[in-house]
Structure 1
Amino acid sequence: MPFKLKSAYILFLFFISIIVFVIVDHFLSNEIKLLTQDKYLHTSKNLNEQLQETIKNKTFATLNIALSLSENSGYKNFLKNKKVFDIDLKKVSLKLKEHSNFENVWIHLIDKNGISRYRSWSPKKDDNISAVRSELPALLKNPKVSSVISVGIFDMTFKSIVPIYDNGDFLGLIEVITKMNSIAKGFEKRGIDLVILVDKKFKNQIKKPFTKDFLDEYYVANVNAKKELKEIIKKDINEYITIKEYKIIKNYFVSLYTLKDFNNQNMAYFIMFKDINSINLNDIKEFEYFIKFIGILLVLTLITIFTTIYFYNKAKYTTTLEHDVKKRTKELNDLTKKYHQIFEGSKTIKLIIDPKTKNIIDVNNSATKFYGYSKEHFLKLKADDLNIVNKDVLNSFFEKILSNTQNIFIFKHKLSNGEIKDVEVYASPINIDTKTYIYSIIRDITEDLKAKKELEKKQKLFYQQAKMASMGEMLENIAHQWRQPLSTITTAASGAKIKKEFGELDDEFFYDSIDIIIRAANYLSHTIDDFRDFFKQSKKKEEFDLSNVLNNSIKLAHLKKTNIELFITCPHIKITGFKNELIQVLLNIFNNSKDALNNIKNAQKLIKIDIKEIDGFIFISILDNGGGIAEDKIDKIFEPYFTTKHKSQGTGIGLYMSEQIITKHFQGEINVQNENFSHNEKKHFGTKIKIKIPNKSNS
C-alpha cells in the first residue's frame, strides 16, 4: 500500500544513520591503524632477522674459505721453504668470484714472524705488519682461528684468520677478507635495497676507501647503493641511523639494523628500503570491507526496525503489517527448517559445544549413531566425556579455536561402548543469540591412520629390501678392501715367526712387523665402521656436510679402485635430513653407472659429479658415458621392481627407493635423461641423473 513518511521521521532515521556511520568509521580507523602498525612491525622484525642471519652466514662462509685454503700444500711449502710463490692469489680470488656469491675476496699470507709474504690485492710484500696490526702479535704468539667484522683502511670487511701448520709446526697465518657487496646484492634480489653506512668515528681510519663514497662523515660500504636512496638519507642522516622500529617515506618502507663491534659500540648501520606496495595488506583490507559491510547491515537493520515500529503505530497499516509479520514468520520457519535439514540430515558428525561450561548444546543424528548415545543422554554430557585428554590441554585447544589460531585437531574420542576412535575435528566459533559457541565437524580417521601406519611399515620394509639388495655388492667391496690388509698382516706375522724360529728376530724387525699389523688392523676397523654406518637406519634428521656424504658414497661404491675417471665439483654445503638415506640414493646411482660402464668397451670411462646450491635449493647432477638407457625404458626406471639388468644382477627396487627417499623424505625431485656431451674434445653419450632438494637449513 502506498504511503508517505513524515519529514520528521525521515530526519530522525537520517540522524541515526549518521551516528552509526561515525561510530563504525571511528572504530574501523583505529583498528586499521593498529593492524597496519602490527604488520609493519612484523615486517621490520623479519627484515632484521634476515639481515642478521645473512651476516652470520657470510661470516661462516669467509671462515670456511680460510680453513680450506689453510690446508693448501703450496702455501705451506712457500711459508716453510721461502721459495718463489707460484700460486697467483688474485686468480684464486677471481675463481671464488666466478664460482660463488663472493664478489671480492682478498687473500693474505703472513709468516710466523709477522712478515706479509703475499697479498692478492697488492704487489706490496715482505713488510712487517705485526707492528701496525694490533691483533697480530697475540695471534702469532698463540695461534688460533679468528673471525671478525672490522673496519680497516680500505673498507668494513669480514675477516677470518687461520693458522697454517705443517706436521705440528706453526708456519704462519692465512687471512681471507670479504666485503659487504654480496649481502646487498642478495637483498636486492628479494626486492630490498640496502645502504650500508659505517659509523663516522671510523672516517679517519678509512684512508683508502674501496667504494670512494661518503655521506657526510659516514662511509658507504656497498658499491651498489642507489643514488636516489642516498639522497633521501643525506637530508637527515641522524634520523635514519636512529630508527627504532620503522619509517615510511615516499613509497618506501624503511627499517634499520645496527651492527655492533666487540665493545658493543655502533660499527655500521644497514638501512633497508622496501617498496611499501610489496607489503601484503590484503587481510587488513578484507577486514575493512567486512566492518563496512557490517556497518551498512546495521544501518539497514535500524532503518527496518524503526520503519516497522512506525507502521505498527499506524492503525490504517495494521493489515499490511500483519501480512508482513506472517511473511517474515514463514521465512524464519523456513530458515529454521532448512537449518534442521542441513544440521540434522547431514551424514557428517556435528556437535555444538559451549566453550565456557563444556556442555554439549546440540548434536545431529550422525553423532548419536557414531557415539552410541541417545540425543537426550548426549545433551547431558560434556566435551570432557568424549575427549581422552587432560582438561588443561582441552582448555588450551578451546582457546586456539576461539582465537582462530588453530581449527583442525586430531583427538581420541571414547564411544558409549568404551571403544576408542581416532577422529579429525574441524572446529570454529559461531555466534548464536549474542553468545559464542564452538561448532565442530568430526571425521572418523581410525582406519585412515591404520592404513597410514601399514604404508609406513611397508615403506620401511622397502628401504630394508633396498639395502639388502645391495648387501651382496657391499660384502664384495668389503672383501675386496680387506684382501690387501689381511695379506699384509699374514706376511708380517709369517716373517716374524720364521725369524723367531731361526733365532734371527731382532727388536727392530719385531716392532716394524707389529706396526704393520696394527696399521692394517686399524684400516680393517675403519672399513667396518664405514659399512656399519651405511647399514644403520636413520631415525631422525641431522645436519651434515654434503661433500662428506659424497665421499662416503664414492668409497662405499668402490669407484676409486676401478678404471673409472671421476670429475667432481662439490663445495662444502650444510644440509639437514637423513644422512644415510642420501648415501643410499647416491650409492644406488653410482652402482648403476658402474654396471653400465663395465658393459661398454670405451677406452675412457667417465662419471662427472656436479653439486651446487642456488636460491635455497641443492642441485646434484651425476653423468656417465655408459651408453644411456633405451628410450622405451627410461620412463620406467623409477617403478618398483623394474630393472634393465639381468635378474641375477638386480632387483629393480634401488632406483624406486631412491625416488621415494628424495620425494618423500627430502621433499625434492629426481629425474633421468640421456645426454650427449663433450669431454677433452671427445664426444660421449650416457645417462644423467638430476636431483633437486631444498636446503632446509637455510630456508
Structure 2
Amino acid sequence: MRKIILLIFFINIHLFAYSILIINSYHKGYQWSDKVIRGLEDVLIQKDYIDFNILYMDSKRISSSEYFESLKNLYKIQLRNRKYDLIIPIDRFAYDFVLENYYELFETEPILAVGIERFSHERVKKYSLQKKVSAILEKRDLFGNVNMIEKNFYNIKKLYIINDKSINGKHTEPLIEDLIKNFNNRIKLQYLKEDDLSSLKNYPFENGSAGLFIRFYKNKNGKLNKNSEIINFIKNSKIPIFVTDSLFVGKGATGGKIVDLYKLGKESGQMALDILNGKDAMVIEYKDFEYFFDYEKLNEFLLSIVNLSEPYTIIHKKKTFFDNYRNLIDFVFTISPLLVFLILGLIHNIYKRKSLEKDLRKRIEFDATMLNAIDSPIFWQDSEGRIVDSNNTFCNLLELSSDYLYGKKLIDLKDNHNIKQIVRMISNYNLNKNNNEFDFIDKDNNKKIYLIKQAKFKEQKIKYEGYVTIFTDITREREIILEKQKNRQFAIQQSKLAEIGEIFSSIAHQWKTPLIEITAIAQELFYTRKSKSQNINEDDSFVKDIMQQVTYMTDTINEFQKFIMPSNKKVDFNIEEAIETMLEIVNHNLKYNNIKISLNIKEGTNLIVHGYKNEVMQSILNIINNARDALLNNYYKDRKIEISLFNEKSDLIIKIIDNAKGINIKNINKIFEPYYTTKEKGHGIGLYMTKVIIEDKMNGKISVENIERGAMFTIRLAQRK
C-alpha cells in the first residue's frame, strides 16, 4: 500500500512538473490566434508533465487604457496564488501588457512572445527583463510576395499594399515603407490605407492591378471587422488579392507566400519546451514560408504560374478524369489485367494533354503580353491576306480594334486613310525590297518614318502559312542622323574658319613682296617719265612686270577661295595636286618659320582619289599646322616636315612625318577627341574634324604614332578598283 501511494505521488509530480500561462491578445474564436494556439497545444499536450492555462484579453474589441488597467487588477486577483514556469503572450497587445505589468503580476517567470513582428532589446532592457524574454517573430515576407507576383504574373502592372490603421498596422508600416523604397522593378507599388472596409470595397482599383492584403481587421473608428466581412471583400474583389498568412487560404485569396499560423504555433511550442529545459533567452525569426494558390481564382483572373521554382500547393483544383472515375478504373484493374497497358497509356495521354494545355496557355499569355509590350506595330496575315492577329500598337496606329480587323483584308478597308497608307507602304515594299523605309502621316498631320520587315511563316503539319509584318518607327533615329550630319558639316566649316585667320596671315605675307615690286615699278616709271627719257619698250616692260605680280596675287586668292568653299559632291581628284595647292596657300608661312617641307611620291603610285577634295586638303592642313606649332620649339635650322605618298594593296597611303620630338605619351590617345587641346589658345576641333572627314566622310582611316625624332600621321584612303 505504501508503495502504491509513493507511485501515485511520483506520477502526479511528473504529470504536472511544469505550468504554462498563455495570454491571448484576442478573444476565443478569433481565427488568427486560435490557429497559433492550436499549434502550441498540439506540441505541449503530448507532454503529460505540462499543465497550461489560457487568458483572453479581447484587445481587438476593447483596447483603451482604462480597460487594460482594469484587466491588470483582475489578473492580480486571478494570479495571486498561482506560480507559472513560463508566460506566453500571443501577439503585440499581450506582449506589451506583460512587459509593462510584469513585476506586478509575476516574479521570476521567463517570457516567450509569439507572433510579434518587431523585437526591441532596448525596450526589454527598459523593464529590466533582459535575460527573461524570448521571442519568435512573425515577419511577413512582403518582398518575397512582391517578387513572386512580379516574376510569375506578367499582366499585373500595379500592386496595392493593403493595411489598416490599427496599432499592429503601424508596426508593419516600416516593413511596407522599406519595401516601396527599395523595390524599383517592373511592378508599380502603392500603399493603400483606407479608413474603413466599406471605402476599401469601393476603391477604384486600376486595370491590370492586384492587391497584397496585410490586414484590415479594424476601421479607423475602432469598429472591429468580422472575418466574414473581410472574406466577403477578398472573394468579391475585382482584382486578385494575395495574402501573407494562412488565415484566408481557401477563402477567396488568389495565393501568396504565407506564414502557416498552425506551424508557427507548433514551432512556438517546441521553443517553449527548450526554455523549460533551461535554454537561455533567444529571439528567432520564423522563416518557414509556404506558397499556395487557388486554382479557381487563377482561372478567374487569367493568371498562370510561370517562374516559381519552389514547391507550392494549389487548392480547388478541378478533378481530372482519373479522379472522377477512380472506382471504375479500380474495377477494370481488378477484372482485366490485360487492359493495364491500355489504361496506363490513356492516363499518360490525358496527363500529357493537360500539361500541354497548361504550357500552351502559359505560352499564349506570355506571347500576348510580350507582343503588346513591343512599341512596333505588328500584324499577321494568312496566305489569302486576311488578318489573323495583331498587337495593340498596330490597332492604335489604325485607330481600330483587333476584333474589327480580325478576318478582314487590308485592301478591302482602303477607305480608311490610315489603312490606305499601310497598303501603299506594303505594296511599295514588295515591289522594291531594297527600299524598306516609308513615310506615314498620322491624324495630327505629323510625319513618321517606318522601317518595314516581312517574314513568311509556315506550319508543315496543318499546311498553314502566311506573313508577319513589322513596322519599326525610326523617325527619331533619322532626325538624329540628319542633325548629326548638320552638326558635323557645321563643325567642318567651323574648323575651316579657324584656319582662315592663319591663312590670311600667310596670304598677307605672300602679297607684301608683289606689292613692293608694283610700288617700285610704279615709282621708277614715274621718275623716268619725269625725266622724259623713257621709250615705248620700257613702258611695255613696266606693264609686263606689274601684271606678272598682279597675276600671282590673283592666283593666290583664287586658290584660297576654292579651299574655303565646302565640297557638296564626291569627285575624282589628284591627291598630289590637292596637296601642292594646299601648300601654295601656306608655303610662305612655312618659309617664314624656316620649316622645310618635302613631298615624296613613290614611282607608279595611283594618285586618283574619289571623295571631297577641299575637306581632304583641310584635313592635311590641320596636321601640318599642328606640326608647324610643335616645330617652333626646335632649333630654327632643324625644322622638317615630310609628306610621302604610296599605294598599299588597293589603298592610297599618306604619311606626314615631322621631327618635333613627338607627342607626349599621355596625350597621344586623346588628340582626336573633340575640344581636346594642349595649346594655350587652341580650339581643339582641328584634329577631331580631320578624323571625322577621313573616317566618316571618306571611309578611310587615320592614326598617329611616335617615331625616332617626332610624330607620324598615317592616312589610308580606299581607291576605286
Place the TM-score, normalised by the shorter chain, in its bin. Answer: 0.3 to 0.5
- Answer with 1 or 2: which has the greater Rg: 2
Could you tell me the TM-score, scaled by structure 2's length? Answer: 0.46
